Structure 1
Amino acid sequence: MNQFHLFALIAGLLLPLQIAFNNKLTLFSGNPTTSSLISFSVGTLALIVYSLANPTAFQKSLQQLSQAPLYAWLGGLVGAFYIISSIVASPKIGIATFLALIIGGQMVMSLVLEHFGWLGTAVRSISWVKVLGLALILVGIILVKKI
């Protein structure tokens, strides 16, 4: 396991916590949109502080953004949809079921993106082994949902 595997593992461990934090915030705010906005605002503040720790690199990266294709700016919209979906759906279906469905959706889209090289991803053909892996994930979703 290298550092990138570790980062992914830690991110996976933190996602259920993020959902629980946001759900708790929604209990107090009474509004999933408000809680999502607060979640993004706190994250934005943390990223600003982190970025300002190295202002030269931050300024250079800002200058290079003009070269990004328009679709590259859509990540924030996807993130907003994810956050509000987690706040609305996970209290109804459970965090484990919600994340199992998220993982299934992520795997389907990942395989399609990489198979066709969409959005500039490296082309990695879909193989029977990958399809089997996806099928096992789908079985896992069914098992988690039934428990």
Structure 2
Amino acid sequence: MNTFALLAVIAGASIALQASMNAQLGQLLGSSLLATSFAFFSSFILVGVVSAINSKGVSISSINLLQVPWYLWASGLFSVLGVASFYFLIPKMGAGNVMSFALTGQLAISIIISHFGFFDSPVKQVDWQKSFGIVMMIAGLILINKEAK
């Protein structure tokens, strides 16, 4: 496994850990939205500190914000939708079930994004192997979420 693949696995594990921990925080606070707010606040602080340390001369004033396509500013909305949904769903479905459905959604949309090269992504055409992988992923989703008898 190369370094980038390992980092991607760690990122995926981080998402599952973060979602599960904050789902419990949401239960203890009585609000998944409040837990979401705390998660984004702590993320904002951490990213702000790291950005300040590693700015390398880049500042908001040196970036032409008007040249950024409007739809790219909406990415934060998808973050809130995903994170808040995790915090709401994990206590009801369990972390494994929620993450298996989430991973399926992530893989499905990422294959579409790569196939068409959306958002300047490198184009990776869907072929029979990727199509077979999608079918196997759906089979895995069914098996993971099948209740033991």
- Compute the displacement of 1:93 (Å): 1.1
RMSD: 1.8
The 5 A counterparts of 1:105-116 are 105-116=105-116
Does the 8 Å contact 2:100/2:141 carry over to 1? yes
Question: Could you say which residue in structure 2 is the equivalent of 1:20?
Answer: 20
Go from structure 1 to structure 2 and tell me whether the alpha carbon gap of 1:70 and 1:136 turns closer, same or farther (over 3 Å shift).
same
Q: Deviations over 1:49-69 (max 9, x none)?
A: 101112334416962544321
The alignment partner of 1:56 has SS state of coil
**What's the counterpart of residue 143 of structure 2?**
143
Percent identity of paired positions between Structure 1 and Structure 2: 29
CA shift at 1:120, angstroms? 2.6
TM-score by length of 2: 0.89
Task: Report what 1:84 is aligned to.
Answer: 84
Name the structure 2 match of 1:72.
72
The whole-number CA distance in structure 2 between the counterparts of 1:19 and 1:43 is: 13
- Contact 1:26–1:32 (8 Å) recurs in 2: yes
Contact preservation (8 Å) 2:115, 2:126: yes
Question: For residues 127-138 of structure 1, what are the structure 2 equivalents within 5 Å?
Answer: 127-138=127-138
Deviation track 1:31-90 (CA, whole Å, cap 9, x = no partner) reads: 111110110000110000101112334416962544321111121110000011001111
Greater CA drift, 21-30 or 41-50: 21-30
SS of the counterpart of 1:144?
A: helix
Give the length in aligned residue pairs: 147
TM-score (normalised: structure 1) = 0.90
Stretches of structure 1 lacking an aligned partner (at least 5 in a row): none
In 2, distance between residues paired with 1:137 and 1:25? Answer: 31
Amino acid of the residue matched to residue 38 of structure 1?
F
Amino acid at match of 2:136: L
